[in-house]
Structure 1
């Protein structure tokens, strides 16, 4: 017995090293070890500059993140990994870094807060264009704190609005593209938005996701990347299990610099309406590329905001009798939003089987006037310094302050089977 007692201490270093290795740590990393309940916990407090893998291991270790951890190397998470974030903690994926979190349906990867309170931690922010950035079979909960990532995550007029979301892709000051593939992922119980993607962001393979119980909107993106949003994703929170609506059950579309809109985009029909410039009134959303709107899409514009198709752009909004397209105000009162301005002569411009209502809040800047005064209405074609073309069929144009449609000099307007109700005037033409 005495011999065994004397020899036992020789095994202590081996035992300690084995426990730490099982937790994903090392002998010289005092952050590894058992948590309060004896479970294996790996504490993450510093930036990650080298290639790193997080995995549960045989001891089913979890990871505890304190503060904002900058990832400038390749971070890979194995299926079943659980990461818990302390107050206002988060992962910031830098331009040289990547985050590859690919779980499985049976073993999803979990990012959550140490406190089960919406907004208890910041979230995940991507400033990287690495195609290895993937969130698949992932659950992200309780992120979206009121404290945004520093220091270039803002948007809106003059960068006056800070971005707070569970997942952020891109940044305002970043010249290069950022991307992440998000599929089969649940974003829930954010204290603010679910997902925010800047105009230079890319969301390849975005599909079959679920946004539920977020206190803000499920998704906010620029109109310049609207095509990325797919109809297989649930934005309404109406899941088969534990359905919870979001605080603002609309997908927000924001204006982008004109140079970023010179691409073809399709606005898909989703299970919620789109909110155009929500929270940013008096904004003209310009589009310089080919913009297609699918049947059944509902677009709700913020006060005094509107849609303008520029000279190089086009608008194809072709609904059906059973599934019309709706352009209206966030509040349905006459003259709530600017309306639609078409400054393009593209022969494909068409609005069919649509309902355009409550526009005409104020004229589009800066040539929407005639000798008789400013021109307001639900739809305007051209202006004093430009022309427009539109075919309008089988549509209801109603409740506008000003004209239902106003056609400026040398613009081309053809129509059939339309109804005009509650506008100050039906169709007006500028004097030749």
Structure 2
């Protein structure tokens, strides 16, 4: 017989009972829980950073300046009590409604800006370090000084200073015609505005104009109203070799003729042999020419000047001054005529005179009669545009050397591009250096050049000679080439050149 055992029941033990029954276990459990609590507390404390230092922002003192004046802010007074490195950030909180200023290097401790409008500029500096951050504000108030009036002649040594920081606002206003009869020095940055129909005369009886600006601080001669033809211009009679315009702008002149019937922003007198050096100077928005150099005036130096938006050509000058013009000056700038315009005049220096081309490819424009009484060399790429009935005379004491290349020819042509427009080239010279090679002579023969004949080129007179090769001769209202009695040309004239569209024939050789 099998013995039956009762089904075993699970024993339910309460925690308190365990602690009661097993005091040692209770002690160990308490120690374990305490350790866990302490470990957690230490971990939480290690994640907390309680800074012991302090940051102070100082944006500097308030400033009162002129519009256009450079303002330097200064946050260098900001500190961290533990000398920890600081970062800087500036912001413009408030400025005049039309202002467009921004800060240069806004993340530096000394940024700069130039106020561009009258009013208040409020700026905020924020500095930060591992110890925290702080802010401070500074106020900059910008105003404009009133220009001074110039209404009397300059009879003592005078210097005009840059009074107003804004580069476009006038420091001085010329209210009436003035004569400069002593030394006048104009400092960099000066702006002189002229009232309606006012002019300045730099006289030869002690007058001297020294206007030497800087690339970043140009001197400006402008109209009170910035419109073409508002004031007359500068008439220059002084023969001093110290006269200079450098880093200057001359604008808005030409309200009336400055000499005879000609309008120009700057006029050089020939009678007094006025002279001046002109460098890095711009003649813009004038009603007339930018510069007019009358025969006898002297361009002492001419370097990297520019002419834009003038009603006539940028410059009008006599033939003797052309060689002073430099390659990098620009004459092609939306002027009435983008040319270098040459008055009827004479080349008579004993040495060979050279005319070069320009980087902007501006041509020469010849008005009237050009007499060559010395050596005249035209470099490859030079173009001469001839006005109606203009003529070039190579006289017995002169010669013409016009030698181009197959790529850069020397070109003589009509000003308007039409045939039979100007008179032509006539050579009286027996000098064997008179040469046309790799050239073009177009559209002459508009009027009689010699002996009731019309021609693009005439070689005339006893022993007169010219060597013509690899040249295109076209568009004549008469002959291409005419050779008079006793004159000579190279024997291969007809085969060594190209003739085209010459009304009366290509070559006439009188025998």
**TM-score, normalized by the shorter chain, greater than 0.5:** yes
Partner of 1:381: 459
Alignment-derived partner of residue 364 in structure 2? 274
The answer for unaligned runs of 5 or more in structure 2 is 1-142
Aligned residue number for residue 508 of structure 2 = 428
CA RMSD of aligned residues (A): 1.8
1:335 shift after superposition: 1.3
| Other-structure match for 2:60 | none
The equivalent position to 1:185 in structure 2, one of 281, 285, 303, is: 281
Separation (CA, whole Å) in 2 of partners of 1:121 and 1:262: 40
Structure 1 counterpart of 2:474: 398
Larger radius of gyration: 2
Q: Structure 1 residues 73 and 360 mapped into 2: Cα distance closer, same or farther (>3 Å)?
A: same
Taking the aligned partners of 1:215 and 1:291, their CA distance within structure 2 comes to 30
Tell me how far apart the structure 2 counterparts of residues 58 and 168 of structure 1 sit (CA, whole Å). Answer: 29
Higher relative contact order (CA 8 A, sep 6+): 1
- Aligned mate of 1:166, from 265, 277, 291: 265
Distance change in 2, residues 1:59/1:190 (3 Å): closer
User: Could you tell me how far apart the structure 2 residues matched to 1:306 and 1:336 are?
Assistant: 11
> Does the 8 Å CA contact 2:171/2:190 hold for their aligned counterparts?
yes
In 1, are the aligned partners of 2:223 and 2:230 still within 8 Å (CA)? yes
Residues 48-59 of structure 1 mapped to structure 2, 5 A cutoff: 48-57=154-163
The answer to whether residue 328 in structure 2 is matched with residue 232 in structure 1 is: yes
In structure 1, distance between residues paired with 2:224 and 2:473: 52
- TM-score normalised by L of structure 1: 0.80
Moved more, 105-114 or 265-274: 265-274
Give deviations 1:334-385, integer Å, cap 9, x for gaps. 2111010011111110111111011111223xxx22xxxx2210000014xx
Would you say 1:101 and 2:208 are equivalent positions? no
Q: Distance in 1 between matches of 2:453 and 2:307?
A: 41
Q: Which residue of 1 aligns with 2:336?
A: 247
In the other structure, the counterpart of 2:42 is none
Q: Which residue of 1 aligns with 2:498?
A: 419
Tell me, what secondary structure is at the counterpart of 1:226? helix
Instruction: Identify the residue that residue 41 of structure 1 maps to in structure 2.
Output: 147
Task: Write out aligned runs for 1:8-407 (5 A).
Answer: 39-57=145-163, 62-95=171-204, 96-145=206-255, 147-149=256-258, 153-154=259-260, 162-171=261-270, 174=271, 176-237=272-333, 245-256=334-345, 264-270=352-358, 271=360, 272-277=362-367, 283-364=368-449, 368-369=450-451, 374-383=452-461, 386-407=462-483
Cα deviation, 1:247-275, whole Å, max 9, x if unaligned, reads 211111111257x5665322211221111
1:9-58: CA deviation from partner (whole Å, max 9, x where unpaired): xxxxxxxxxxxxxxxxxxxxxxxxxxxx9623111112111111101247
Contact 1:261 1:287 in 2 (8 A): no
**Residue 40 of structure 1 aligns to a residue in which SS?**
coil
Deviation at 1:226, TM superposition (A): 1.1
Counterpart of 2:302 in 1: which secondary structure?
coil
Q: CA deviation at 1:333?
A: 2.4
Question: Where does structure 1 differ by over 6 angstroms across 4 or more consecutive aligned residues?
Answer: 58-61
C-alpha contact (below 8 Å) 1:54/1:81 kept by paired residues: yes
Q: Which moved more, 1:56-65 or 1:318-327?
A: 56-65
Superposed CA offset, 1:208-249 (max 9, x none): 111111111001111122101111101112xxxxxxx11211
Task: Tell me, in whole angstroms, the C-alpha distance in 2 between the residues paired with 1:144 and 1:349.
Answer: 41
Q: How many residues align?
A: 359
8 A Cα contact 2:145 2:164, kept in partner: no
CA shift for structure 1 position 192? 0.9
Match of 2:300, SS?
A: coil
C-alpha contact (below 8 Å) 2:345/2:369 kept by paired residues: no
Q: For structure 1, which segment, 215-224 or 329-338, has the greater mean C-alpha deviation from structure 2 after superposition?
A: 329-338
Structure 1 gaps of 5+ residues are 1-36, 155-161, 238-244, 278-282
